[in-house]
Structures are given as structure tokens and as C-alpha cells.
């Protein structure tokens, strides 16, 4: 994943100076994260578009569309620690999103993301599938920022 790319965030707010996960909704696809898209038109569906620049180690992200066994070493270790913290078993051949969200259904996704944050995971990302990704608003890869300190700049562009 190339974090030097341009990312976009759509918001009802006209001018954001910063973005915080405190305002994220738990009802969104991945849960309470800051959503970004690499597609301007997707962000535009949510309101005023802000150009977002990121700083962060791509090794410390989780690709939700890959099995746990195919994640970076750091992400694999973080997922392992996450499940050990809650004393749950997991299948490393399973889709990462399915396994993480299985734990989230019991403990809440906010708790899961708070734990991943302490394990130095700063972003989850993946393509929504089925009905979840069928509209313009949700097409393409969704990027969910857990650690807002990894957002280096926010610039209103519409």
C-alpha cells in the first residue's frame, strides 16, 4: 500500500483543521474509524471534500481482504496479541476482517480498535463486498484510520 498517495475525506463540516476518531460512528462498515477513500467522487458523496496526507509505516496496517497469515509480520503479531488479550482462538487462514469483527461483535469495535491502537496498528483497509460496496458512496477500497496522529495534513478542496 502506498501511503504517499492522495486520500480524500468527505464531511458535512466545511473546514476541518483536524480529524479525530472521537467523532466516528460505530455503525459504519468497519466501525468507529476515520474513513478515507482514494477516490474523490466517493468522498464527495459524504459532503465537503478534504485532501488528506498520511504519515505512517505501511507495515503497521491491516489489509482486511487478506487472510491473517498473509499480513505483514507486525500486523500478524498485533492480531495474535489482540486475540490472546481476549483469550480467543482465531484461524489465521481466514479473512482478517471476518476474524477481527467476530471479536468486535462480542466486545465492540471501539474496544477492538483501541486495543489495535495500543499494538501500533494505525489503519485498516479493504474493499467492501456484496451489497455493502454496491453504491457510489462505498465503492473502491475504504481506508479506516485508527490513529489520527498519522494524518499529517487536512486541506479543504471543495
Residue 13 per-residue DSSP state: S
Give the model's pLDDT for residue 3: 79
Mean pLDDT of the chain: 89
Of 10-14, 23-27, 140-144, least confident by mean pLDDT is: 23-27
Give phi and psi for 29, each to the nearest 5.
Answer: -50, -50
Highest mean pLDDT among 25-34, 76-85, 124-133, 147-156: 76-85
Its pTM stands at 0.91
CA atoms within 13 A on the CB side of 92: 13
Q: Mention every residue, 6+ apart, whose C-beta is less than 8 A from residue 134.
A: none
CA atoms within 13 A on the CB side of 99: 24
Amino acid at each position: 500500500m502506498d501511503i504517499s498517495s492522495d486520500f480524500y475525506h468527505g464531511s458535512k463540516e466545511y473546514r476541518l483543521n483536524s480529524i479525530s476518531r472521537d467523532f466516528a460512528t460505530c455503525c459504519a462498515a468497519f466501525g468507529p474509524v476515520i474513513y478515507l477513500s482514494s477516490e474523490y467522487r466517493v468522498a464527495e458523496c459524504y459532503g465537503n471534500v478534504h485532501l488528506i496526507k498520511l504519515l505512517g509505516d505501511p507495515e503497521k496496517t491491516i489489509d482486511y481482504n487478506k487472510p491473517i497469515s498473509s499480513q505483514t509480520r507486525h500486523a500478524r503479531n498485533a492480531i495474535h496479541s489482540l486475540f490472546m488479550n481476549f483469550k480467543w482462538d482465531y484461524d489465521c487462514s481466514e479473512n482478517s476482517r471476518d476474524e477481527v469483527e467476530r471479536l468486535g461483535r462480542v466486545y465492540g469495535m471501539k474496544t477492538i480498535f483501541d486495543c489495535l491502537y495500543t499494538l501500533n496498528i494505525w489503519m485498516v483497509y479493504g474493499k467492501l463486498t456484496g451489497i455493502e460496496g454496491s453504491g457510489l458512496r462505498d465503492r473502491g477500497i475504504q481506508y479506516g484510520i485508527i490513529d489520527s496522529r498519522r494524518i499529517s495534513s487536512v486541506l479543504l478542496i471543495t
